[in-house]
Amino acid sequence: MDIQEYFSLVFSDYTLRTITLGTAILGAICGMLGSFAVLRKQSLLGDAISHAALPGIALAFMITGTKDTNLLLLGALVSGLIGTFWIRGMITKTHLKSDTALGLVLSLFFGFGMLLLTFIQKQPNANQAGLDKYLFGQAATLVEKDVTLMAIVTGMCLIIMLLFWKEFKILLFDADYTKTLGFNTRFIDILITFFIVLAIVLGLQTVGVVLMSAMLLAPAAAARQWTNKLSVMIFLAAIFGAFSGVFGTAISASQNNLSTGPVIVLVAAVFVFISFIFSPGRGILFKQIRFWQNRRDLKLQKTLQFMFDIAKGHEDISHPHAIKILNNFQGYTKGSLKKMEEKNWVEVEGQKWSLTHDGYTVAKNLYTQE
């Protein structure tokens, strides 16, 4: 199946439609909530929580004995939240830093989860196969019920975000000020964190434990490059996320042996890469161009200043001087003289140059900021 065929099938084929819709919604919600995570400098929280969710899945299975997705995800949610609050406890109560706390929760919970999973695999009831799909995710196992759940959570999350928009925003940018205004910062904080954990847990089934953090980060990091406004950033991140989901699914469906999760992550990484380079305000390309422009302008100005120093000794500022004397000055080239002539700063006649009135005023005010 090639990509064209995929797009013609998306609307008619049940499985493809469900998966595409699922990954798109997942991408959107991850982008939205990921924006908060990125701006709160909690980028790697996603990585830690997605790993921390694993023992929850295993325990939920051990207790209930069913493979009902919702129950397993509930277990994941609980253990993800425990992990999150333990991370916070470690950072606030001990001198361990956030990177250590994140790394600890990530690896310890995951290891414990692995212990439980291997333990379950050795148990006699053969019902357990497939639990390890949560490691790497299998978009193909998405059914309509899962997509509905995702849609409901996304809707809830949108409503809460709109209701608490002001609080979320102010907490994001100035936590102390928020506190002095009398907002319950603890509650708002927990609310945001809860939704981030929820989004991560939802994504486990599709992209898996390992790649979930990129789902959360990449769209937000890409969106950040295009705007300085929170609402625009969240909107853009949701769009980037949704497109990564759709394109990723399309590419992986059109090739053999390509799991969806990694492809989605790579598509999102391409979005980030493009944003890093081509965004007009912050992108590397335009930054470099601006840098070159500034350097050229500065060179011209330095030459002008040099000319000004020569010219100001004469009564007539437009008294012609030999071009030769400029050769001692480093910033001078034939090109720069031509540029200055274009700007009407100097006039060139044969082997002589003279400062114009415009050039004189510009040079005079060069360092006075007028």
DSSP summary character for residue 336:
H
* Residue 148 or 259 having the CB closest to other proteins: 259
List residues binding other proteins (CB under 8 A): 38, 41-44, 46-47, 51, 89-90, 93-97, 99-100, 102-104, 106-119, 122, 132, 135-136, 210-211, 213-214, 217-218, 221, 224-225, 257-259, 261-263, 265-266, 269, 272, 276, 282, 284
How near is the Cβ of 30 to other proteins at its closest, in Å?
13
Euclidean distance between CA atoms 45 and 55, whole angstroms: 17
How near is the Cβ of 343 to other proteins at its closest, in Å?
33
Whether 106 and 82 have beta carbons less than 8 Å apart is answered as no
* Residue 28 or 224 having the CB closest to other proteins: 224
What residues have CB less than 8 Å from 324, skipping those under 6 apart? 351
How near is the Cβ of 216 to other proteins at its closest, in Å?
8
* Residue 65 or 111 having the CB closest to other proteins: 111
* Residue 41 or 186 having the CB closest to other proteins: 41
How near is the Cβ of 51 to other proteins at its closest, in Å?
7
- In three-state secondary structure terms, 344 is coil
Q: 258-261: long-range contacts (C-beta < 8 A, 24 or more apart)?
A: 259/136, 259/137, 259/138, 259/139, 260/19, 260/23, 260/137, 260/138, 260/139, 260/140, 260/206, 260/207, 261/136, 261/137, 261/139, 261/206, 261/207, 261/208, 261/211
Euclidean distance between CA atoms 283 and 271, whole angstroms: 13
* Residue 72 or 106 having the CB closest to other proteins: 106
How near is the Cβ of 160 to other proteins at its closest, in Å?
24
How near is the Cβ of 87 to other proteins at its closest, in Å?
12
Locate 3 and state its tokens: 């990509």
* Residue 118 or 127 having the CB closest to other proteins: 118
Distance set, CA 134 to CA 34, 200, 246 (Å): 20, 12, 20
